[in-house]
């Protein structure tokens, strides 16, 4: 599998309401950190996750987290 593009080397911190989200795993989406279908013709697929309660979410921006789709600080080691 190819490497994802890293749109930014810090998390996308967003206020989220409960519900399902599709996190962009390829790094190509114009609507980061969410999937917009730009992964077509790549090896990547979005990560679907459910937000259980309203609050701040730190979505991975480097696309290399060990806790996808959430930031685990991996960007600080790249």
Alpha carbons 47 and 56: distance in angstroms, whole number: 18
The residue ranges of every structural domain in the chain are: 12-72
The label of the residue with tokens 């990560």 reads 47
pLDDT over 90 at 70, yes or no = yes
Q: What's the confidence (pLDDT) of residue 73?
A: 97
What is the chain's mean pLDDT, rounded? 97
Cβ-contact 48, 22 below 8 angstroms: yes
Q: Is the pTM of this model over 0.85?
A: yes
Q: What's the confidence (pLDDT) of residue 2?
A: 87
What tens digit of pLDDT does each residue of 4-28 get?
Answer: 999 999 999 999 999 999 999 999 9
Q: What percent of the chain has pLDDT over 70?
A: 99
Average the pLDDT over 50-62 and give the result.
98
Average the pLDDT over 46-50 and give the result.
98
């Amino acid at each position: 599998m190819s490497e994802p593009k890293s749109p930014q080397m810090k998390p996308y911190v967003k206020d989220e309401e409960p519900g399902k989200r599709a996190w962009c795993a390829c790094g190509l989406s114009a609507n980061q950190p969410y999937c917009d279908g730009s992964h077509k013709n790549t090896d990547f697929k979005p990560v679907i996750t459910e937000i259980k309660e309203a609050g701040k979410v730190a979505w991975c921006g480097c696309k290399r987290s060990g806790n996808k789709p959430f930031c685990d600080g991996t960007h600080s080691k790249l």
